[in-house]
Amino acid sequence: MLQFRSDSVISERIGNLRISLAETKGDDGATVLKNRMTASFNGITFTADDTHPLTLAVRGERGRRNLALMSWKKPNSRSCEFAFSEGVSLSFAVSGSGEGERLTVHAVLPENADDVRLHYEIMSGAAVVSETDTHVQLDIRNSRWEFEAAEISGGTVSFGGRGTVASYSYYDATKKFSFENTSRFASAERSVYSTTIASFKQNLITAFTSQQDITEQEAVSFVAAMSERGRYNDAINAVPSSFRRGVQRTYLSSPYFDSLATMNRSLEQQMSGFRDIVAQNTIDAFAVSGIVDYMCMHPASNAVRTLLSTGAAVGANSITVSQAASVLSAYDSFLAKNAELASILHPAAQVCIDKITEACSAENEKITISENGAFVSVIQAAEIGDALVRYGRASGEVAIERGGYVILNSYLAESASFDLRTLASLYPIVVHDNPYYPHFALLGFDGGNAVWAWTCAANMTYANDGRGTVTVTIDFPQSYTHYVIINGIQRFRTIYIYDLAFRTDPRFETYNSSGYVYRADTNTLLLKSRHKSQIETIRFIYSDAAREAAERRTLTETDAAGNVIAPPPEPRLPASALPEGNIPMSTGNASPESAE
């Protein structure tokens, strides 16, 4: 401690960190800490004094509050803590040694705080090599140093909702994380990832068989995983009847478990929710399952295009790593479904890659992801890894794709220890090539309106011949039954299924046949589809000429030359095509042997 008249300078040194404070004597002779703190470390100096005060932004207030230094302490030999007014404190800690020394600054804020800003300066002679809103790289006497925080601007570093930690450390380009460096890892191979996913699926199935009280997500993921193995009916019958009859079901499981009239109400609510989410115009929208499909159903909507423009304008300091992954995943989905909408969002892709890269670190040929000093969950890591794989494949950036494999292999390698809820939640994140998982299918546009389905079918098509007939085809394994909600079907005169005219019946789900109910108020067809062939064709008739042609079709068929083709043996009429005598079906789907 140095004495200068009535003031005393307090100096502390922790490694290369130099702390300077000042005390003075008040009128009563008591020693008082002056509002002056400086902390210098390898070319950077942080200051909080009357000239450059530490400032606090409080929610609901326009201006910022200047804070005063109240006290300080040295809790251990490697750190100092400073308490300021308004309940704010800063700690400076040094770790490592020599060139590897690292300074970490951590802020503690009151609950009503938006952020705290601390002034900093770079030493004379230091050159700024690169600078962003979250990083500053310096060249100091031919050594590279890096300053990182949630927000750095105008000579201040901000601590708040986006992060309460800042760091300053030696920058070693050879040790800096990059996906190019991790692409040589054994876990970067797609074959290793395929093995990991195969084990993950088996672990999901195994976990389900020992569980009685299940959630809807668990049931849906299980049925999808089993169906991929050709065991659709086994999966349906393995789901407890208590779940199928329960009140927790929504539209999500409707392709498997009927009750379409009830489930459609929850789907209508979801579509309304999508509209509201898009209108709110926030980055969080891209993380909502199904939102891309909704936006593709309304590609000309101003709200949709505004949201895409908002996504395209994101900066690395304004999003979290999970938000970056959701935007990247949405971009990949748009590429497959609507290239024009994808092009609007494209400017965000590299920003998202950079954000994810910043959060990654590699050790022992594994990648871990952390943000603001906390590791992400396995669900978040899977979303991030999957987003990288999909983007890398679509863009041809092999290092990015392989980096995604490393992340997924790192976090999913121990999936045998995951509980059923985690496994079921992960399934739709990492499995995209299983059509048995319920999904939206955009069939096309008719009169400017989207025609779409909620289904578990492998493929569906929609065609309007312009002469009064609309044809829908559905691809699903022969003899099996599933349920489809089709929206955008205009009111029709007659519907043909199995080349037979069907009538609507509110009991359609109880019959041993295909059947339907039509909701004219919403142009929605609720369809039970029991497949006599893998490709079932449904025709909607809108004109007399089309109806006459359909009636002739049920009697005779001709070849291109007009010759009559001998009709096949007349099939037994489906129950819902008969004027009376409907045949009830048993609970569950018919087996392949018993189905017609």
In the chain, what are the domain boundaries? Answer: 10-175, 183-431, 439-554
Residue 362 contacts residue 177 (beta carbons within 8 Å) = yes
Q: Above 70 in pLDDT, residue 572?
A: no
pLDDT at residue 578, as a whole number: 32
pLDDT tens for 416-473 read 999 999 999 999 999 999 999 999 999 999 999 999 999 999 999 999 999 999 999 9
Lowest mean per-residue pLDDT among 155-164, 292-301, 528-537: 155-164
Q: Above 70 in pLDDT, residue 573?
A: no
Q: Above 60 in pLDDT, residue 390?
A: yes
How far is residue 256's CA from residue 483's CA, in Å, rounded to a whole number?
6
pLDDT at residue 264, as a whole number: 95
Check: pTM over 0.75? Answer yes or no: no
Give the confidence band of 372 by pLDDT, cuts at 50, 70, 90.
confident
Query: From the centroid of its chain, how far is CA 215?
Result: 20
pLDDT at residue 596, as a whole number: 27
pLDDT at residue 130, as a whole number: 81
pLDDT at residue 549, as a whole number: 72
How far is residue 219's CA from residue 509's CA, in Å, rounded to a whole number?
20
Give the confidence band of 132 by pLDDT, cuts at 50, 70, 90.
confident
Give the confidence band of 173 by pLDDT, cuts at 50, 70, 90.
low
What is the average pLDDT score of the chain?
88
Mean per-residue pLDDT, 6-19: 89
List the alpha helices (DSSP H) in 476-570. 544-553
pLDDT at residue 590, as a whole number: 31
Lowest mean per-residue pLDDT among 390-394, 503-507, 522-526: 503-507
Give the confidence band of 554 by pLDDT, cuts at 50, 70, 90.
low
Mean per-residue pLDDT, 72-91: 94
pLDDT at residue 275, as a whole number: 98
How far is residue 583's CA from residue 586's CA, in Å, rounded to a whole number?
10
48 membership: H or E segment, kind and range: strand 44-49
pLDDT at residue 565, as a whole number: 43
Per the rule left: phi > 0, alpha: psi between -120 and 50, beta: everything else, 227 is alpha
How do 524-530 and 44-49 pair as beta strands? unpaired
pLDDT at residue 373, as a whole number: 78
Give the confidence band of 555 by pLDDT, cuts at 50, 70, 90.
very low
- Residue of 572 and 161 predicted with greater confidence: 161
pLDDT tens for 332-349 read 999 999 999 999 999 999
Mean per-residue pLDDT, 284-293: 98
Give the confidence band of 576 by pLDDT, cuts at 50, 70, 90.
very low
Give the confidence band of 556 by pLDDT, cuts at 50, 70, 90.
very low
- Residue of 596 and 559 predicted with greater confidence: 559
Which residues have a Cβ under 8 Å from the Cβ of 548 and sit 6 or more positions away?
Answer: none
Q: Above 70 in pLDDT, residue 3?
A: no
The token pair at 287 is 């993380």
Mean per-residue pLDDT, 215-242: 96
pLDDT at residue 174, as a whole number: 64
Give the confidence band of 186 by pLDDT, cuts at 50, 70, 90.
very high
Give the confidence band of 233 by pLDDT, cuts at 50, 70, 90.
very high
Strand partners, 105: 92, 166
How far is residue 287's CA from residue 278's CA, in Å, rounded to a whole number?
12
pLDDT at residue 569, as a whole number: 44
- In order of 73, 195, 531, 596, the CA distances from 478 in angstroms are 76, 30, 5, 9
- Kindly give the interhelix angle for 420-430 and 398-412, rounded to the nearest 10 degrees: 170
Q: What class does CATH assign to 183-431?
A: mainly alpha
- In order of 197, 258, 383, 432, 487, the CA distances from 221 in angstroms are 14, 17, 16, 12, 24
Q: Above 50 in pLDDT, residue 269?
A: yes
Mean per-residue pLDDT, 17-40: 89
For the chain, give the percent of residues with pLDDT over 90.
71
Give the confidence band of 58 by pLDDT, cuts at 50, 70, 90.
very high
How far is residue 537's CA from residue 535's CA, in Å, rounded to a whole number?
7
- Residue of 70 and 561 predicted with greater confidence: 70
Give the confidence band of 176 by pLDDT, cuts at 50, 70, 90.
confident
User: DSSP code of 372?
Assistant: T
Mean per-residue pLDDT, 22-36: 84
Mean per-residue pLDDT, 15-37: 88
Give the confidence band of 6 by pLDDT, cuts at 50, 70, 90.
low
